[in-house]
């Protein structure tokens, strides 16, 4: 089977390292560093698999997932993100991603997710209740997703100053428990 992997990642160094690792594991690879680039590359490269970073400059990686899922045949898509939230994981899978991995993920974890036949049936749910800070983070991510990543619209919906929202988004997500 000819395995063709499209890597959509704005961190050029990480994308190059991941590309080399996946080539060693039998993939032909192509790189894109933003959503528009991914559309162009996907037209000529025709991937069987894709790794998509959620946070891209300009359009969200969710738009890339949606675009790839609409292709025939649709590639197996794994979403990678350093900003993992339940809301974005659910949305990524709803749009067509098979799996959702939080960074840092190593090449073997990514490969296992790419080659799994079935999408993740359920996200890991902790028996511990979420902290107030984590609940706030999850809610912000949900509202941000509902507004297609638009910070101003999200701030208005949350009745929050835009700069306050940007500060909250610039921080790493709080621990779940």
Domain boundaries, the chain: 4-115, 132-170
- Per DSSP, the three-state class of 28 is strand
Q: Check: pTM over 0.85? Answer yes or no.
A: no
Per the CB < 8 A criterion, the answer to whether 28 and 75 are in contact is no
What is the third-level CATH fold of 132-170? Arc Repressor Mutant, subunit A (1.10.10)
Please state the rounded mean pLDDT for residues 33-49.
91
The half-sphere exposure of 123 on its side-chain side, counting CA atoms within 13 A, is: 17
Q: Residues with Cβ < 8 Å from 51, sequence gap 6 or more? A: 5, 6, 7, 8, 9, 18, 77, 78, 80, 110, 114
Please state the rounded mean pLDDT for residues 152-158.
91
The half-sphere exposure of 63 on its side-chain side, counting CA atoms within 13 A, is: 16
Q: For 62-80, what is each residue's pLDDT tens digit?
A: 899 999 999 888 899 999 8
CATH 3.40.1000.10 corresponds to the domain 4-115: no
30: pLDDT strictly greater than 80: yes
Per the CB < 8 A criterion, the answer to whether 46 and 3 are in contact is no
Q: For 88-129, what is each residue's pLDDT tens digit?
A: 777 888 888 888 887 778 888 888 888 876 554 444 444 455
């Amino acid at each position: 089977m000819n395995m063709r992997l499209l890597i959509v990642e704005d961190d050029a160094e990480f994308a190059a390292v991941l590309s080399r690792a996946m080539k060693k594991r039998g993939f032909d690879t192509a790189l894109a560093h933003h959503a528009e680039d991914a559309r162009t590359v996907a037209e000529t490269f025709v991937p069987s698999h894709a790794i998509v970073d959620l946070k891209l400059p300009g359009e969200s990686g969710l738009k890339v997932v949606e675009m790839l899922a609409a292709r025939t045949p649709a590639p197996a898509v794994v979403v990678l993100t350093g900003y993992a939230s339940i809301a974005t994981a659910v949305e990524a899978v709803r749009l067509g991603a098979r799996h959702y991995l939080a960074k840092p993920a190593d090449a073997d974890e990514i490969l296992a997710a790419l080659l799994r036949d079935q999408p993740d049936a359920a996200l890991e749910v902790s028996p511990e209740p979420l902290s107030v800070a984590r609940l706030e983070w999850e809610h912000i991510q949900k509202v941000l997703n509902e507004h297609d990543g638009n910070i101003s619209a999200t701030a208005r919906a949350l009745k929050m100053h835009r700069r306050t929202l940007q500060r909250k988004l610039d921080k790493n997500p709080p621990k779940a428990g």
